[in-house]
């Protein structure tokens, strides 16, 4: 199979798996946001194939989430909360895992990449929250603090779960995350 077709197939499978895992909620916040394993497949692709395929898979995941039901108040908000937020997860691929690294080093690299990309997703949701959902902030609470705390409330647990699952996978299949030349 041609490498380009293989990558396109992986992107489609990863997006489908992410959407499926998003449906299995560990926790759902009362006004939006939830904890699931949605980010894990995108991270796997980012480490395995690099930034660009993972960005495409993330944007596709966010787009499918819109089709399946999304809370939309403005076109820019829906972009920030769905395709952009999930596309930013692809930046975990900025970290390249080398086969010569120890298992501990690979786990550290995974963790760094996941924290970096999760922080980018947080930034996207944070901006959306400040601009379009600030009216939900409790009285006398700074809108920036409200948006930050609200989004941290579900993104930090989701990030931690993603790190744990990814480290589990790398311990079971150490070469899975070794980037193949695209």
Ranges of each domain in the chain: 3-172
The mean pLDDT value for 101-111 works out to 95
**How far is residue 65's CA from residue 36's CA, in Å, rounded to a whole number?**
13
pLDDT score of 182 more than 80: no
pTM equals 0.94
**CB neighbourhood size of 150 (10 A):** 20
pLDDT over 70 (residue 180): no
pLDDT at 61 over 90: yes
When pLDDT is cut at 50, 70 and 90, the band that residue 72 belongs to is confident
Per-residue pLDDT for 31 more than 80? no
Mean pLDDT of the chain: 93
For range 53-61, the mean pLDDT: 98
Determine what percent of the chain falls in helix, strand and coil, rounding each to the nearest 5: 75, 0, 25
pLDDT at position 107: 95
CATH classification code of 3-172? 1.10.1760.20
- pLDDT of residue 181 exceeding 90, the answer is no
C-alpha–C-alpha distance, residues 149 and 155, integer Å: 10
More confidently predicted of 10 and 34: 10
- For 94-104, how does the pLDDT look when each residue is reduced to its tens digit (9 = 90+)? 999 988 999 99
Q: What is the mean pLDDT of residues 22-36?
A: 85
**Other CB atoms within 10 A of residue 111 CB:** 18
- Find the mean pLDDT for residues 18-42: 90
């Amino acid at each position: 199979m041609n490498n380009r077709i293989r990558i396109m197939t992986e992107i489609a499978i990863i997006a489908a798996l992410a959407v499926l895992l998003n449906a299995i909620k560990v926790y759902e916040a009362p006004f939006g946001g939830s904890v699931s394993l949605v980010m894990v497949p995108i991270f796997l692709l980012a480490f395995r194939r690099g930034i660009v395929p993972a960005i495409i898979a993330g944007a596709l995941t966010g787009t499918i989430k819109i089709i399946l039901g999304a809370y939309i108040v403005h076109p820019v908000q829906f972009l920030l909360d769905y395709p952009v937020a999930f596309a930013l997860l692809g930046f975990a691929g900025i970290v390249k895992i080398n086969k010569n690294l120890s298992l501990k080093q690979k786990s550290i690299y995974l963790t760094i990449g996941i924290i970096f990309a999760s922080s980018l997703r947080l930034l996207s949701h944070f901006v959306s929250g400040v601009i379009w959902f600030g009216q939900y902030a409790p009285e006398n609470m700074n809108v920036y603090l409200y948006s930050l705390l609200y989004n941290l409330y579900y993104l930090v647990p989701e990030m931690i779960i993603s790190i744990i699952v990814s480290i589990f996978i790398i311990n079971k299949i150490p070469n899975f995350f070794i980037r193949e030349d695209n």
